[in-house]
Homo-oligomer: A and B are copies of this chain.
């Protein structure tokens, strides 16, 4: 499959895919004419990367994590493993922050709703 199809199937832009490759997150083979060619597997890989991006991991961090994804048996996966656990914790903390922010908003929303109700009591 060529880059356009991968882009639409994984839900990212063509530009992003080229950027991911530049960062070493994905690889491609090239056709005779020099165009990138991908296998089915790349779709899931890109989705996975997107998920980590959405969780606030940088491309560099994702890159450091990939050894764990690709082959859990690598010796150098030690660092990656530690990294993965740390990122997991960071995400947990971030979730807590978001919940706090949401709670704060909920309180505001309730306060405003109450005020509105008192204005139009019928």
Contacts and interface: CB of A to CB of B under 8 A. Distances in A.
Q: What is the count of identical protomers in the complex?
A: 2
Contact of A73 (B57, B77, B95, B115): B115
A19 to B, nearest CB: 19
A101 B68 contact: no
- Main SS class of interface, A: helix
Interface residues of A, number: 38
A84 B102 contact: no
Interface stretch (A9-17, A26-34, A35-43, A46-54): A46-54
> When A and B form their complex, which 3 residue pairs have the shortest distance between CB atoms, in order from nearest?
A55-B101, A72-B115, A88-B105
20 contacts: A51-B100, A51-B101, A54-B101, A55-B98, A55-B101, A55-B102, A56-B98, A68-B108, A68-B112, A72-B115, A73-B115, A77-B112, A81-B109, A81-B112, A84-B105, A84-B112, A88-B102, A88-B106, A94-B98, A95-B99
